[in-house]
A and B are shown apart, each in its own frame.
Chain A
Amino acid sequence: MLSKPSQRAAGVVVLLLCLGGLLVWFGSLAANPAVGAYPGGDELGTNYDAHLDEQVVVGGGVIETEPLTIAVEYGVDESIELHLVDENTQLEATHGDHVTLFGTAKPDQTVIVEHAYAVPGEQYLYMYLVSFSGGLWVLTRITRTWRFDWDTWSLIPDDENSVTRGDDA
């Protein structure tokens, strides 16, 4: 089954279409707090007042500390500023931190915080760099341990070509 190049290509196209369909379907899902899908930046940015007194989950960079204000990005290069009122969590955030929070939307783009945490901006840089190196490691290993066979148009293990197993973890 699916052993000829044309069948293989058709199989991949069908699966890619399925994948695309799943992403469209996932994107069409509306917020549903009953399962844990609270309104987020996109919902608040598009129409904040429609979500007054609802519980929301948002994240954004701190642009002001008195009062604590974050800029939440949504849509295509748009952002909404939210003022955070934090009575319980003693959130300590400085300019440039990224705050993620769960709270209740109140008038005047003010959110009463229930749970929140702040992460310094540099930590994100760390995450991106480390993830990039992880990605490179995996890609290098793929090219070194698998090869494309032009006769069958398939990927086949290339263990003979590589050094003994586990040699370059």
Chain B
Amino acid sequence: MPDLLSHALIAYSLATIASWRYDWITRSYVTAAMAGAFIPDMAKAALVVPSARVEQFIGLPFDWFGLHTLGAAVCSVLIGVVLVSQHERRRAGLLLSLGASSHLLADALLRKPTGLSYPLLWPLSRVYPPTPGLYLSTDICPAVVLSIVTVAVWSVDKRRAST
């Protein structure tokens, strides 16, 4: 979707709702989903060090946007999986994947002038699927709507925890 806050809100809500069904999804795992939602936006490193500058430095073609695809998301999730202790790996992998895929899917709905989104399944496929064009990354509306949804989820969660 739009901004990173919206992505974090989506991941928080999805993981919290899942925790109502699966007891093992504790606060730590909700965080893992939010960290997963962070992954594709590592491509924003381009704002600090433009891809062209990296190309110049390493002498090879380079594009940060590759991080915003399925292949890079799988690699990044696996890094997280290797970093956690052995008993946590399956669970951490699941929640990181939930967050990363919610990010890629929400961004596939972004408005584009071509009516086509971006190659989210790369390197499996380079096709840019059509997008309904629901919002722009700069819109304020998504963060407002998602904040309301998140507060609702949070208050239900709190009520469940106290009973």
User: Which residues from chain B contact A142 at a C-beta distance below 8 Å?
Assistant: 31, 35
**Which chain A residues (99-132) contact chain B, with CB distance < 8 Å?**
100-102, 114-117, 119, 123-124, 126-127, 130-132
User: Which residues from chain B contact A152 at a C-beta distance below 8 Å?
Assistant: 85
Binding site for B on A (CB under 8 A): 1-3, 8, 11-12, 15-16, 18-19, 22-29, 32, 35-38, 42, 57, 74-76, 100-102, 114-117, 119, 123-124, 126-127, 130-135, 137-138, 141-142, 144-146, 149, 152, 154-159, 162, 164-167, 169
A76 and B113 in contact, given A157-B26, A159-B26, A159-B28 (Cβ under 8 angstroms)? no
Q: Of A37, A117, A130, A156, which one neighbours B136 at CB under 8 angstroms? A: A117
**How far, in Å, is A148 (CB) from chain B's closest CB?**
9
* A102, B115: Cα distance in complex, Å: 9
* A121, B158: Cα distance in complex, Å: 39
Q: By the criterion CB–CB under 8 Å, are B84 and A23 in contact?
A: no
Binding site for A on B (CB under 8 A): 2-9, 12, 16, 19, 26-31, 34-35, 37-38, 41, 44, 50-53, 55-56, 58, 60-67, 69, 71-72, 75-76, 78-79, 82-86, 88, 111-116, 119, 122-123, 126-128, 136-140, 143, 150-151, 154, 157-158, 161
Residue of B nearest to A162 (CB): B27
Q: By the criterion CB–CB under 8 Å, are A131 and B3 in contact?
A: yes
Q: By the criterion CB–CB under 8 Å, are B8 and A137 in contact?
A: yes
Q: By the criterion CB–CB under 8 Å, are B52 and A57 in contact?
A: no
Q: Of A2, A102, A138, A156, which one neighbours B114 at CB under 8 angstroms? A: A102
Q: By the criterion CB–CB under 8 Å, are B41 and A76 in contact?
A: no
Q: Of B5, B64, B65, B128, which one neighbours A133 at CB under 8 angstroms? A: B5
Q: By the criterion CB–CB under 8 Å, are B113 and A101 in contact?
A: yes
Q: By the criterion CB–CB under 8 Å, are A25 and B119 in contact?
A: no
| Given A28-B60, A130-B5, A145-B31, 12 new contacts (CB under 8 A) | A11-B82, A19-B79, A26-B65, A29-B126, A35-B128, A36-B114, A102-B113, A134-B3, A154-B83, A154-B85, A157-B28, A165-B157
**How far, in Å, is B60 (CB) from chain A's closest CB?**
5
A22 and B71 in contact, given A138-B31, A145-B27, A159-B28 (Cβ under 8 angstroms)? yes
Residue of A nearest to B38 (CB): A138
Residue of B nearest to A11 (CB): B82
**How far, in Å, is A96 (CB) from chain B's closest CB?**
14
Interchain residue pairs with CB less than 8 A apart (25): A15-B79, A19-B72, A24-B61, A24-B62, A27-B51, A27-B62, A29-B126, A36-B114, A75-B52, A76-B50, A102-B113, A114-B113, A119-B138, A123-B139, A127-B137, A127-B138, A133-B5, A142-B31, A159-B28, A165-B26, A166-B157, A166-B161, A169-B16, A169-B150, A169-B154
